[in-house]
Amino acid sequence: MTKLRKTAADMVATARASIEEIETRNLIAMVDDPNVVIVDIRDIRERQRSGFIPGSIHTPRGMIEFWVDPDSPYFKDVFGQEGKKYVFHCASGWRSALTVATLKDMGFEAAHLKEGFSTWENQGGPVEKPEPRD
C-alpha cells in the first residue's frame, strides 16, 4: 500500500486550526436563535437513525460547495441569507471541519460543531426523531 503524504487526521487537524469551532453547550444555547442556521451534513441514514437537531437543514456533503455558490445551478437560497451564522455538523466533527475549511476557502463564512452530534443529546441538546418509515 502506498503511504499517503497527508492522512485524513492530518487534514482534519489542519482544518480545525483555521476555522471557528463551537462547543456543544454553546450551540445548544443558540439552537433557538433565528440568526443561526444549523446545517447537518451527515448521511441521511445517520439522520434517520439517531435523529437531528430541530430546525436544522440537511445538506448532502457532496453538494455543499454547489449549494452555497450563487453562481452554481444548484445554489440553495438558504445559503444566501445575509446576517446569518451558519454552523455545520456531522457525527464527530471531522467531516464538518473539512467542510467548513473548504467553504472558508471559497469565501463563505461558517463554523462547525466541534465534537459533532455525538455529544449533542448527552449534553441536553434537543433531538427530533424522524417519523418511522414503513
User: What are phi and psi for residue 89, nearest 5 degrees?
Assistant: -145, 155
Alpha helices in 1-134 (DSSP H): 8-18, 24-30, 44-50, 64-68, 94-106
Q: Which three cell numbers stand for residue 27?
A: 450551540
CATH 3.40.250.10 applies to domain 9-119 = yes
CB-CB neighbours of 49 under 10 Å: 11
pTM, two decimals, is: 0.93
Assess contact for 112 and 93: CB atoms under 8 A: yes
Q: How many residues does the chain have?
A: 134
The per-residue pLDDT string of the chain (134 residues; one tens digit each, 9 = 90 and over) reads 889 899 999 999 999 999 999 999 999 999 999 999 999 999 999 999 999 999 999 999 999 999 999 999 999 999 999 999 999 999 999 999 999 999 999 999 999 999 999 999 999 999 999 876 65
Domain residue ranges in the chain: 9-119
